[in-house]
Amino acid sequence: MHIKMVAGDSAGTVTAFYLSSQNSEHDEIDFEFLGNRTGQPYILQTNVFTGGTGNREQRINLWFDPSKDYHSYSVLWNMYQIVFFVDDVPIRVFKNSKDIGVKFPFNQPMKIYSSLWNADDWATRGGLEKTNWEKAPFVASYRGFHVDGCEASVNAKFCETQGKRWWDQKEFQDLDANQYKRLKWVRKRYTIYNYCTDRVRFPVPPPECRRDRDI
């Protein structure tokens, strides 16, 4: 999806682009763009829910003003990994770690959603900055949507073409050396929060963090 974020004073707003399952064991893959007071950087929060459990937030400052122009935000989701991209730069990887006891969202289909909503109880500076409704309407613009995927009913347990489509082939089973270099650049320069390094919430790092190269 190509998105241009809310311009100006967007504090308290969240612009979202995400995938979400419909069944009880909730799976979700999130892009959430946290609004700001004028002059402060937008924060991009990503999260992954598997089997009803989330709490895997990562936050970065973007290296551009996302309200000035359209930028590309995309997800690669296959049986091996989930990769979040901004303008083709990988900003996060979540590997399939079922072999070490971490659920991976792959046993049910997800729908794609976009939304813009008020979350001024937490979105900007932990809820200290409230939405200024005098600045309404708040407008985010979406265009250029494209999806390659396996169509399935809401009750499907697997994709009939599993392993046969382009996204399951060897070159998409892991990042290449250049992509890992760019991911390292994002983590070093722009990451402001990573659940994997939060020892207050997680005294012992979650098991997937080492495989995802977050620690």
Active site residues: 28, 32
Sheet with 191-194: strands ordered across = 111-118, 13-20, 28-34, 43-49, 58-61, 191-194
Complete edge-to-edge strand list for the sheet that includes strand 141-143: 89-95, 81-86, 71-77, 2-4, 141-143
> Which pair of tokens denotes residue 46?
């990503």
The tokens describing 40, both together, are 């402060």
Length of the chain, in residues: 215
Residue with tokens 């900055």: 129
Q: How far apart are CA 107 and CA 96, in angstroms?
A: 12
Burial, 27: exposed, middle or buried (Cβ in 10 Å; 0-12, 13-18, 19+)? buried
Of 103, 80, 93, nearest to 213 by C-alpha is: 93
* CB distance 10 to 16 below 8 Å: no
End-to-end, the C-alpha distance of the chain in Å comes to 30
CB 12 within 8 A of CB 124: yes
DSSP 50: B
